[in-house]
Amino acid sequence: MKGRTNTWTKVLGAIAAAGVSLAAQASPGNGIRLGGSEARLHPFFDLETRYDSNVTYSGEDAVGDLVLHFRPGLELKAPGDAAAFEFSGALDWAQYLGMNDGKSRPIPVDTKELSRMYAYARLAAAFNRNGMVAPRVDNDFERTVSTASLAAVAVPVVSNLNKLLLAVPWRPGGGALVLVANGEWIVETFEKYKDEPPVPLSDLAYDQYRAGGEVQWRFLPRTSGVLQGSYYRRAPNQANQAQNASGLDFFAGMTGLLTERVAATAKLGYGSSTANGFTTQTTTYEAKSYSAGLADLAVEWLPLDSLSLRVGYKRSIAIDPVLSIMLQQGVNGTVQLKFAENYAFRVGARWDSFVFQLQDGATTKFLTVDPTVEAKFGHWLSGAVGYAYSTRNAEWPSTSGTSQPSYSKNEVFLRLGVTY
Amino acid sequence: MRSHLLVAITLALTAGGASAQGANAAKGDQEKLDAAADNLSRMKSALKQVLGRAEQARSDKDVVKLNCVNEKLTQIKSLINVAERSDIALHESIAAKDAGEAEFSKIAIARTKVDGLRGDAEQCVGQLAYNVEERTTVEVEQPANLPGRPLGLGVANREYNPADAVADIGFGVGSDTGGSWNRTFSPPVIVRAQAASPFR
């Protein structure tokens, strides 16, 4: 163990030295210009050291470990009126150092086995931006650890989520009125993180389609009234799955600036979802429809140019891959403070609740608090240091014969980034 | 053209300086030097602000606004040149036990004019004015706290300073995508919990 630690210390030192020397050589340039165009490519590399007190998401006998994240990535910006493109993507190798491997525990753990590749890629393309019809396409891919994707079985999984969005706004007249047709296609698959859930992960993959429309009326330069509606359908890859469901939702309200220093979103709506019946190993669930009022409320206040306060509440209907329809409610707040020109202190807190509608008394609650200090020096060097406390608390009816473990974890991280 | 402008400004300042002499007669030498330095500093600060306006107009690709701001900018630069020369002359006058009232007044008047030009430049940018029935003028001014970062597609953000983003109130509201669908200021819902390896 001692020898391994020394080896890792050397590796860390070498990486830090390489990073510093790379940073020292990099000129504070503005990326790599592509051909004679205005497009610029920005390669970047982030190194993050994170201590996680509970890498196994366990309720008892939590195992802590130090995790190194190596994130090489690219950003591309190609502005233009006829067509504009932006891309941001990175690979993220998470190396668990196995600090507590071999120590006496009820169940031996080898956290180094949790090391794997994560990634994200976001692409946006906008066309004819100053025209009457200005289509925009977005594609977001993310591979990450998720504890909320399969909230009903309370098992953290590796989620591969791809979301394709298409919006076609039409601005008749001067542009105060905007009519938008939009569509969304989501594909999500799951892989094991540490423990196998009680249902085969390969059966839980799904596609979700959504089609909708929106009317915006911009009655002030940055304030709009909105009316939104959409229909969605969740199609599981396997038959007889819980998530074979569809639904409708509508919102009406306003969003934008109320004064120079106060912004708000106030949208209220109604949603309805219908799930087909399905059978698990122990239970048969009948088809069910569920309707509820929806809300999307937020206020942001900028009392000083260097201080921002934001609080919000959202209530929506969602589909869990294992237990179908759930009502989501979330409250969140953020305080941001700029200091010493290049530093930003942020503390965010959020509480979320999932109430499963096909299983009476089944709820899952999440709480996260994460203060962070971020800084950027010139165009090329950035850093962040932060802490995050997160907890999950599940309540499950005793009659179901299953228990849903809760967990809490503390994380501390230091991140350095170099962008060319 | 530029030299004519300079001559005109110098003549104007000299004429103005004569009338201002009386008011400044009582000032001590050190006070004059301090006040002149303060005036120069404020003029340079105004120059910086107007340069920012010009940059904003350039990034907006608004030629009309850019021309308007550049016109003010040229005059401000010339006034600062004159004021700097007067500052040197003021130092020399005081060193030679001369009052240097004319030079001091030139700097003070230059500052007044620069302040006026800065105000004019503000009117060039962020102003939407139109007439109703040829009599009533309605002016709609955009909020001072528009987002500090350029309006891209919101995907590639590493070049932005997170400290500057603190003041980005309501960023995304009424975005040019036409769809509040994915750019609206809205509290995010935690569809998925905090990732073990959250990206920035």
Tell me how far apart the alpha carbons of residues B122 and B69 are, in angstroms, rounded to a whole number: 8
Do B189 and A330 lie within an 8 Å CB cutoff?
Answer: yes
Length of chain A: 420
Nearest CB to B169: which of A134, A300, A332? Answer: A300
pLDDT at residue B32 in the model = 85
Chain B residues 29-88 with a CB less than 8 Å from chain A: none
Write out pLDDT tens, residues B43-99. 988 898 888 888 877 777 777 888 888 888 899 999 999 999 999 998 888 888 887
Tell me how far apart the alpha carbons of residues B188 and A331 are, in angstroms, rounded to a whole number: 9
* Residue at token pair 């009533």: B136
Residue A19, pLDDT > 50, answer no
Tell me how far apart the alpha carbons of residues B146 and B173 are, in angstroms, rounded to a whole number: 11
Residue A47, pLDDT > 60, answer yes
A84 chain-B contacts, CB cut-off 8 A: 152-153
Residue A252, pLDDT > 80, answer yes
Q: Which two tokens stand for residue A20?
A: 């510093």
Is the model more confident about A7 or about B86?
B86
Tell me how far apart the alpha carbons of residues B90 and B95 are, in angstroms, rounded to a whole number: 8
What are the residue ranges in chain B where pLDDT is below 50? 1, 11, 13-26, 127-150, 172-200
Return the SS3 of A378.
coil
- Mean per-residue pLDDT of chain B: 67
Size of interface A-B (CB pairs under 8 A): 239
Nearest-Cα residue of chain B relative to residue A366: B193
Chain A within 8 Å of B129 (Cβ-Cβ)?
no
Chain A residues 77-96 with a CB less than 8 Å from chain B: 77, 79, 84-88, 90, 92, 94
Chain A residues 256-285 with a CB less than 8 Å from chain B: 256-257, 259-263, 265
Nearest CB to A218: which of B143, B165, B174? Answer: B174
DSSP 8-state code for residue A62: -
Do A165 and B182 lie within an 8 Å CB cutoff?
Answer: yes
Do A316 and B189 lie within an 8 Å CB cutoff?
Answer: yes
Q: Per-residue pLDDT averaged across A239-268, rounded? A: 87
Q: Which two tokens stand for residue A174?
A: 């001067």
> Could you tell me the pTM of the whole model?
0.68
Write out pLDDT tens, residues A322-365. 888 899 999 989 999 998 888 999 999 999 999 988 888 888 89
Nearest-Cα residue of chain B relative to residue A343: B163
Within a 10 A sphere around the Cβ of A375, how many other Cβ atoms?
Answer: 19
The percent of residues in chain A predicted with pLDDT above 70, rounded, is: 89
pLDDT at residue A263 in the model = 87
Residue A18, pLDDT > 80, answer no
Do B166 and A338 lie within an 8 Å CB cutoff?
Answer: yes
Closest CA to A379 of A18, A23, A7, A6: A23
Burial of A53 (0-12, 13-18, 19+ CB in 10 A): middle
Q: Per-residue pLDDT averaged across A288-308, rounded? A: 90
How many CA atoms are closer than 13 Å to the CA of B53, on its beta-carbon side? 28
Tell me how far apart the alpha carbons of residues B130 and B147 are, in angstroms, rounded to a whole number: 25
Determine the number of helices (DSSP H) and then strands (DSSP E) in chain A: 1, 21
Chain B residues 131-160 with a CB less than 8 Å from chain A: 140, 142-146, 152-160
Q: How close, in Å, is residue B197 to chain A by CA atoms?
A: 7
* Residue at token pair 């931006």: A129
Residue A155, pLDDT > 60, answer yes
B183 chain-A contacts, CB cut-off 8 A: none
Within a 10 A sphere around the Cβ of A310, how many other Cβ atoms?
Answer: 20
Give me the interface pTM, i.e. the ipTM: 0.71
pLDDT at residue B163 in the model = 78
Write out pLDDT tens, residues A127-137. 988 788 989 99
pLDDT at residue A50 in the model = 94
Write out pLDDT tens, residues A175-229. 788 899 999 999 999 998 887 777 788 888 999 999 999 998 888 877 888 999 9
pLDDT at residue A10 in the model = 56
Return the SS3 of B62.
coil
pLDDT at residue A1 in the model = 39
Who's near A209: CB < 8 A, 6+ residues apart? A183, A184, A185, A186, A232, A233, A235
